[in-house]
Amino acid sequence: MSPSIAVASSPKLLDRVRWHLRVRHYSIRTEQAYVDWIRRYILYHRKRHPNQMGEKEITEFLTHLAVEKHVAASTQNQAFSALLFLYQQILERKLDFIDNVQRVTRPAKLPVVFTPAKARAVLAHLKGDYRLMAELLYGAGLRLMECVRLRVKDVDFGYGHVTVRDGSPREIRT
């Protein structure tokens, strides 16, 4: 076989991650976040392949995020979830218990909530499509990507219904 003939090789690791996430119908944002965390993990360990690493390196990386990067607890958890997905689903490796990770501890913050008057004041400064989108975000509790993906046929003004496709499941509060 001559060297000029390309030999089909297996897909690169991050391409395999993307493929597995899409097959499992993860959202595009989750795909982007997981691929980014896996890339950061590999770069942090000087481009070593994850097959050559394990629990010790995962612990080092997650502790680095908490101690040196000062990330939020949810950010550290997202990075951990991405690495678990990598090892369990892509590399098909069973990880031992991961402990001794420096966890992020931050004081709980009270959420900032607009009063109805403040919300009306903000909405009054918006025009056209932006106002309609903001009203849907605020009034119907839509998430940004749910609102952006809405189509005309998804809004029924007669019944006052909005159909959200591929939305994230959540509890509806009344």
Q: What CATH number is given to the structural domain containing 76?
A: 1.10.150.130
pLDDT 10s digits, 83-104: 999 999 999 998 887 777 777 7
pLDDT of residue 18: 96
Q: Provide the 8-state DSSP code for 141.
A: -
Enclosing domain of residue 141 = 116-162
- The pTM is what? 0.64
pLDDT 10s digits, 68-83: 999 988 999 999 999 9
Is position 98 within any domain?
Answer: no
- How many angstroms separate the CA atoms of 41 and 83, rounded? 8
Is position 33 within any domain?
Answer: yes
User: 92 — alpha (psi -120 to 50), left (phi > 0) or beta?
Assistant: left
